[in-house]
Amino acid sequence: MSAVKIDGRKVSAEIKDELISSVKDLKEKGINPTLAVVLVGNDPASQVYVKHKKKACEYVGIRSLAYELDENTSEDELLKLVNELNTRDDVHGILVQLPLPKHIDEEKILLAIDPSKDVDGFHPYSVGNLSIGRDGFVSCTPAGIIELIKRYNIEIEGKNCVVIGRSNIVGKPVSMLLLRENGTVTICHSRTKNIKEICKQADILVVAIGRANFVTKDFIKEGATVIDVGMNRLDNGKLCGDVSYDECATIAGAITPVPGGVGPMTIAMLMNNCVKSAGKCLT
Ligand code: NAP
């Protein structure tokens, strides 16, 4: 049996198409959804991410304001810009692209963003809301994972969910989200013992560790859903996940490929968060 391939490109395109009409509705009501994207320095990967984000905004109809600042921008200058964007009524989302140059304290900048515009969901206030089950912005990759699972009609409630990885940007928030969906959640990390046996109990296995092909078919329960968050660049330049796709697909019920699985969902969920933030202006 071969697993269903969970197509993140298709789902991401569906979400962006749905958002086009939400944006149109907001515009008809006098709200022009706007995302401010702040990039400091010349990191090539960050420049590519920012370009993709601007393109997605254009597609969906969100206005994007680009702030591309010099590498030598001081922490105070950046804080001043964030504070200015916080106070602007015509800005609904603020995204400061990470990583920042070493002389700037990332945490200080993230803390400065008004939580009501924290569309990346990295502010401790947003993280706190997620853990106590209150409404708020959820970071985009974890939110995208749950959306993928739901759109493939895979039940989370009552299922054994195992997450490998406990980072603040993926492992922990996706675990909280699976719990919120009434899954029974186990979190594994680099000190976990018997990881293979734990994974083998999983109805839903989410892998976010950053190690190419770490998960092999002997980790997988027959029919399980396998979500591979890993993005690893091999020596030959190819992108590969944390899960050995071909062999795991012979046992899993559904599985995400890399590329084309979780990756495309992140930007779609960012657009979703911006539209959600702009929509709050109606209430
Ligand atoms: P990270 O901050 O480096 O965290 C890695 C986690 O994996 C840590 O909790 C670590 O455990 C755990 N780990 C490492 N080796 C392990 C092992 N051998 N066995 C069990 N656990 C192990 O990474 P991240 O930021 O969460 O990212 C993980 C992967 O997802 C990366 O490949 C990244 O590129 C990718 N990613 C993709 C997207 C996307 O698709 N949009 C977004 C974000 C990240 P300890 O805590 O014990 O050290």
Alpha helices in the chain (DSSP H): 8-28, 44-60, 75-87, 106-112, 124-131, 140-151, 171-180, 195-199, 245-248, 263-279
Which sequence spans correspond to the domains of the chain? 30-115, 139-263
Check residue 1 and give its pLDDT: 66
Averaged pLDDT, 206-217: 98
268 lines ligand 1 (CB under 6 A): no
- The DSSP-derived string for 96-119 is EPSSPPTTS-HHHHHHHS-GGG-T
Pocket test for ligand 1, best of 163, 169, 189, 242 (most atoms within 8 A of CB): 189
What percentage of the chain exceeds 70 in pLDDT?
99
The whole-number pLDDT of residue 178 equals 98
* pTM, to two decimals: 0.97
DSSP state letter for 3:
P
Classified as helix, coil or strand, 39 is strand
Q: Which CATH architecture has domain 30-115?
A: 3-Layer(aba) Sandwich (3.40)
Residue in 6, 187, 229 to alter for ligand 1 test, most ligand atoms within 8 A of Cβ: 229
Atom from ligand 1 closest to the CA of residue 189: 21
SS3 call for 51 = helix
Per-residue pLDDT tens digits for 39-91: 999 999 999 999 999 999 999 999 999 999 999 999 999 999 999 999 999 99
Q: How far is the CA of 165 from the centre of ligand 1 (A)?
A: 5
Confirm or reject CATH 3.40.50.720 for domain 139-263, answering yes or no: yes
Mean pLDDT over residues 22-40, rounded? 97
Comparing 164-173, 239-248, 257-266, 274-283, which segment has the lowest mean pLDDT? Answer: 274-283
Could you say which DSSP state residue 215 is in?
A: B
Q: 154 to each of 145, 149, 170, 173, how far by Cα in Å? A: 12, 6, 20, 19
Residue 282 pLDDT class (50, 70, 90 cuts): confident
Per-residue pLDDT at 203: 99
Across the range 155-170, mean pLDDT stands at 98
pLDDT band at 185; cut points 50, 70, 90: very high
| Residue 281 pLDDT class (50, 70, 90 cuts) | confident
* C-alpha span between 204 and 162 (Å, rounded): 6
For residue 254, what pLDDT is reported? 98
Written as six digits, the tokens of 244 are 């050995």
Ligand 1 and 187: CB distance under 6 A: no
